[in-house]
Structure 1
Amino acid sequence: MTQSPLARAVALAALGTCLTLPSLAQAEFIKDSKATLEARNFYFNRDFRQDGASQAKREEWAQGFILRADSGYTEGTFGFGLDAIGMLGFKLDSGGGTANTDLLVPDRSGGSQDYSSDLAVAAKAKVSKTTLRVGSMQFKNMAIASSDSRLTPQVFKGGQLISQEIDGLTLDGGYVREVNNRNSGDFEDLSMTTGGRRGISVTGGSTTDAFTFLGGTYKLTQNLTGAYYYSNLEDLYKQNSFNLVHILPLADKQTLKTDLRYARSTDDGRSNVDNKALGAMITYGIEGHSFGLGYQKMSGNTGFAYLATSTDPFLVNYVQISDFANKDEQSWQARYDFNFASIGIPGLTFMTRYLTGDNVDRGAAASEGKEWERNSELMYVFQPEFIE
């Protein structure tokens, strides 16, 4: 089979090979193309020890591959290009009754499929410092953030316009109509997270095919950045989100970072959403060490509203399992990070944290709800200089 120059370039880049294509140097579409191949070997084990659990354990092992290929832009005033995400997942182990880890696509018997594949493609156009993307893609902003905490990432179908024409200002707007979740091979309509003790109810249908957002970030000073986003999940909720991040240099290799977040969520016709979410995270860094304290408070008639399923909400106390965003809940977080690059081991990091939440409204006949969570993570990213 004869391959085109673009196909050869993408294939070589995916294997981590540095490319020089002199014969194609004048074609920006080719010259600025890049591709990466990520391999994920994922073992997941969750043990449900509480009484009355419908499933005692979720345990699966899987291998995944994610190829990300981004082209450059064609030459001219208006440049055009393509971005693609190719995803493959293979089941290595999954026993009877231990599925539903979100690593793999479910089958009709209640287990998981042996393998799955998917392709997300988005067309893009650029003029000056403004870019339009239309198709299937990931998002990462205050209003919508694709989950990437399992074998393959969550992707959405829609469009996004990003403009950086003014120094220090990034404007961001978009429209989303469908989601392909991290354990699915099909696109489906959008819905809202309503689980836990959120107190959120929906009438007249729980799905919609329209989510819009508009906002941006602005660098107010060298050390202070502000952001605002408006978002609307049609017929379900409207949300105004604010963020201020300040980084204060204290001394040599010492900083104090303050991250303040506030969101006001209201209903949009078919729900009872009414929430104010306040969060703050203060982190002191010294050389490779980071010490963080976080506080989060929910108020209003319901808990926090955001896109389902498993989309990452913009909350300081959203962690591995819980988001600590139930009705009236207040929560605290203590966190420690260490970057081993500070002692000569680049790519190796360690994190541990503990969170506790209380004052959850469980109804008039019940006492206040409480929850806690602790996480630890040791991670190594292989460095390019060590790869043959």
Structure 2
Amino acid sequence: MKILTNAKTFKYLSLSTLVSCCCMSSAYADFVQDSQTSINLRNFYMNRDFSDVPNKDIGSWSQAVSGRFESGYTDTPLQVGLDVGLQYALRLSDHNAERPDTILPYDTAQGKQERDYLKAGATLKLKYKESELKIGELYPRMPVAYIDESRQLVTTYAGAAFETKAIKDLKLSAGRITHINSREDDEFKKLSLFVGAGPRYESDGLNFVGLDYNFTPKVFGAYWFGQLEDIYQQNYVNAAYSTKVGQSKIKVDARYFHNKEDGDALYGKIDSQSYGLQTAIQNGAHTLVAGIQQNKGESIFPTLAGYAPQPFLQTWSTLGFIKPEEFTWHILYSHDFKEHGVPGLKMTLRYLNGSNIYRAGLKDNEESEANFILGYQVPEGRFKNLGFEWRHIRAESKYGAGYTPGADFVENRLITTYNYKF
């Protein structure tokens, strides 16, 4: 088992511990009494079966245990808090262990997956009235950076993030992220661009600022700017309208991304835009979502190395649907079986179709993906918070996800989770 040795991680942990200990002598009660401690167990099985490629399938079966302590705040003018987290995963089977699957770490020298791995991090929290600064390990859910919970252990980041709600109806966010600890890694690494094969160029950091504003109870708007130094700049604009018609809740959501190269342009010119429009209707147990997305420009939509997701794209899924000039339409239907006497049981069907993908020399380039998700979480009783999920994915690409013929695949994920809060 490899243990985190990144100096920055321990620097954040030591700083956080020192500050918190100094403050606890005068405000120990609030720091501890308002704290939350939890343990999460996650059993994760995935198998992806490709067609017409040498390696017929990839995947793994693993068990994870994660513990997290989130403190309260000291009773001081500048409130101080501390969060600490550990994540550990163990591979349970040697099946497909010789092939990387982006779930568990892969040792290229040995030509096999690691048996286990451990992640550790800590966050210092400084709060004043409606404003808060976090330094250390971060779990962002922003248009410019997002955690990844889709596999076994969670992708996290390191840096500093500030958020304030001091102005009515406005949330202002700003900060700088310097490292990423991706889902299949046990170390914090400097940020880079996801390009698959090829040389890796690293950035000194991602600077960001974001404005989220509620114009009215029904109208929401947002603007975010991200700068991955010497690689790319990203602008994001969002406008959404929510209303209620009879018993139905309706939301219309428009999103726009504009990406271009930054500074020294380590990866060259970046020319990418994305326009998205989506409507969601929820009536009782039924939810229907439909939308379209148009990508413009000669570049693929830029994402962070380490398989960092971009769920603020309305078509984000396993295939991504982020290729140049790609036009995607998508539809989703979800059903909650609570009204049928089975609370905790939910089913989701989703289909995405992307066409008109730009690629020199290739005509009629297209791809599609279908998802079936069935999940159940025990709502009460002794086994409350015990959850089960089956996710079935079918993906087809005329020229493959990497423009390689025959990269169609069928994937199944079986996930069992249990969360216990002390």
- Quickly name the TM-score band, shorter chain normalised: 0.7 to 0.9
- Alpha carbons of structure 1 residues 194 and 116: separation in structure 2 relative to 1, 3 Å: closer
2:77 match? 77
CA distance in 2: counterparts of 1:292 and 1:130, whole angstroms: 35
2:160 match? 159
CA distance in 2: counterparts of 1:161 and 1:26, whole angstroms: 25
CA distance in 2: counterparts of 1:237 and 1:326, whole angstroms: 17
Question: Counterparts of 1:1-388 in structure 2 under 5 Å?
Answer: 27-50=29-52, 53=53, 55-96=55-96, 99-107=99-107, 108-194=109-195, 206-252=201-247, 254-268=248-262, 269-270=264-265, 271-313=268-310, 314-319=312-317, 321-363=318-360, 365-387=361-383
CA distance in 1: counterparts of 2:87 and 2:326, whole angstroms: 38
CA distance in 2: counterparts of 1:208 and 1:55, whole angstroms: 34
CA distance in 1: counterparts of 2:28 and 2:363, whole angstroms: 69
SS at match of 2:31: helix
- The answer (yes or no) to whether the contact 1:362–1:368 under 8 Å persists in 2 is no
SS at match of 1:305: coil
CA-to-aligned-CA distance 1:303-346 (integer Å, 9 cap, x gap)? 21122221121200001x11111010001101110112233333
- The answer (yes or no) to whether the contact 1:60–1:98 under 8 Å persists in 2 is no
- The answer (yes or no) to whether the contact 1:62–1:103 under 8 Å persists in 2 is no
- The answer (yes or no) to whether the contact 2:332–2:351 under 8 Å persists in 1 is yes
Q: List gaps (5 residues or longer) in structure 1.
A: 1-23, 197-201
CA distance in 1: counterparts of 2:92 and 2:99, whole angstroms: 12
CA distance in 2: counterparts of 1:239 and 1:251, whole angstroms: 39
Deviation at 1:264, TM superposition (A): 0.8
- Alpha carbons of structure 1 residues 40 and 97: separation in structure 2 relative to 1, 3 Å: closer
Q: Which amino acid aligns with 2:103?
A: L
1:4 match? none
CA distance in 1: counterparts of 2:169 and 2:67, whole angstroms: 31
- The answer (yes or no) to whether the contact 1:134–1:159 under 8 Å persists in 2 is yes
Flag the structure with more relative contact order, 1 or 2, with Cα contacts below 8 A and sequence separation at least 6. Answer: 2
- The answer (yes or no) to whether the contact 2:98–2:113 under 8 Å persists in 1 is no
CA-to-aligned-CA distance 1:126-149 (integer Å, 9 cap, x gap)? 001111010112111111111111
- Alpha carbons of structure 1 residues 352 and 90: separation in structure 2 relative to 1, 3 Å: same
State the superposition RMSD in angstroms. 2.0
CA distance in 2: counterparts of 1:233 and 1:266, whole angstroms: 10
Deviation at 1:54, TM superposition (A): 5.3
SS at match of 1:309: coil
1:18 match? none
Q: Which of 344-353 and 92-101 deviates more?
A: 92-101
- The answer (yes or no) to whether the contact 2:60–2:96 under 8 Å persists in 1 is no
- The answer (yes or no) to whether the contact 1:60–1:99 under 8 Å persists in 2 is no
CA distance in 2: counterparts of 1:89 and 1:125, whole angstroms: 31
Q: List gaps (5 residues or longer) in structure 2.
A: 1-25, 385-422
Deviation at 1:121, TM superposition (A): 0.6
TM-score (norm 2): 0.80
CA distance in 2: counterparts of 1:294 and 1:279, whole angstroms: 7
- The answer (yes or no) to whether the contact 2:86–2:119 under 8 Å persists in 1 is yes
CA distance in 2: counterparts of 1:121 and 1:97, whole angstroms: 31
- Alpha carbons of structure 1 residues 338 and 239: separation in structure 2 relative to 1, 3 Å: same
1:3 match? none
Deviation at 1:193, TM superposition (A): 2.5
Deviation at 1:258, TM superposition (A): 1.3
Q: Which of 344-353 and 155-164 deviates more?
A: 344-353
Deviation at 1:255, TM superposition (A): 1.3
- The answer (yes or no) to whether the contact 2:160–2:177 under 8 Å persists in 1 is yes
TM-score (norm 1): 0.87
- The answer (yes or no) to whether the contact 2:40–2:67 under 8 Å persists in 1 is yes
- How many positions carry a matched residue from both structures? 354
CA distance in 2: counterparts of 1:42 and 1:330, whole angstroms: 33
1:11 match? none
CA distance in 1: counterparts of 2:117 and 2:28, whole angstroms: 38
2:390 match? none
CA-to-aligned-CA distance 1:27-65 (integer Å, 9 cap, x gap)? 211121012211111000001113xx3532102100111
